[in-house]
Amino acid sequence: MLGRSVENSIYISIIFLEINDSIKTKWIKMLNLGSSYKEIFNEIAIYSKDKSLSRVWKLLAKISDLSTLETGEKILEIANNLEKNKQLMEKRDSLLKAQKYKIVFLGSMTSIFLGIISGLAPLFATFISIFKNIEISDTTIKIIPFSLYAISIASTYFTSDIGMGKIKIKTIIFSSLAYIISYFIAKAIFTVLI
């Protein structure tokens, strides 16, 4: 903290840490009994559960052998780097969140498109029969919706796995509902047209 002695700054920092009071008391005793900053920083590093934060405390312990001015400058530099890292992590998290919505949208659109195609499969089969003079069996027409559903689920699975790094059941359920609804709407439209 600018304008304060190093001891006072460390004391105030320890007071504001959200940790067990007995550990705070131990560190304050170390400070009052004249323990070196190196010892105090190493103690804090041992207690830190976050490995990256523990490394920062160990670094502070090493640079505390420098002059007070150099130590202060290094601490400010580390604090600035930590702040930049925090901002970058927040930016990364917001980008990942935006990516998540794109993936859900893409999976839903794929399911809707495939549901419409499967609902209109008898119509396509009729066109093929007329223009290509090929007979398509009823079994094939009945299998098409299930095979397209499998493709829809597989595409949702792989896009969510690659894009989000994990598969969410909610995404697969939402995609399945989009497929089923679009299938029945297309089927109803086909029935009305015939």
pLDDT of 114 > 50? The answer is yes
Write down the pLDDT at residue 4: 56
Check if the beta carbon of residue 66 is closer than 8 Å to that of residue 74: yes
What string of DSSP letters covers 90-141? HHHHHHHHHHHHHHHHHHHHHHHHHHHHHHTHHHHHHHHHHHH-----HHHH
Distances (CA, A) of 57 to 63, 70, 171: 10, 16, 42
- Cβ atoms within 10 A of the Cβ of 113, count? 15
pTM exceeding 0.75? no
Check if the beta carbon of residue 142 is closer than 8 Å to that of residue 104: no
Kindly indicate the confidence band of residue 1, based on its pLDDT and cuts at 50, 70 and 90: very low
Burial profile 78-102: b = 16 or more Cβ within 10 angstroms, e = fewer: eeeeeeeeeeeeeeeeeeeeeeeee
The most confident of 88-92, 120-124, 128-132, 158-162, by mean pLDDT = 88-92
Query: Per residue in 137-166, pLDDT tens?
Result: 778 778 888 888 888 888 877 777 666 666
Query: Per residue in 165-194, pLDDT tens?
Result: 666 777 788 888 888 888 888 888 877 776
Mean pLDDT of 36-47: 79
Least confident of 49-63, 77-91, 146-160: 49-63
* HSE, side-chain direction, 13 A CA sphere, residue 165: 3
Q: Domain ranges in the chain?
A: 6-65, 91-193
pLDDT of 10 > 50? The answer is yes
Q: How many residues are there in the chain?
A: 194
Check if the beta carbon of residue 171 is closer than 8 Å to that of residue 118: no
Mean pLDDT of 125-143: 78
